[in-house]
Structure 1
Amino acid sequence: MDLNNILEIFPKLRKAIYEKKFRITMTNHEIQTFQAAGIKRSEQCPHINVYPWDGGLSVHWRHDPQYIICRIYL
Structure 2
Amino acid sequence: VASYKFKPAAICQGLRNLFGLPNVRLANPSLMAQVIQWHENGLDFADAFHLALSQHCSEFYTFDQKFAKKAQGLTQCRVDKL
TM interval, shorter chain, is 0.3 to 0.5
Point out the structure with the larger strand share.
Answer: 1
| TM-score, structure 1 as length reference | 0.35
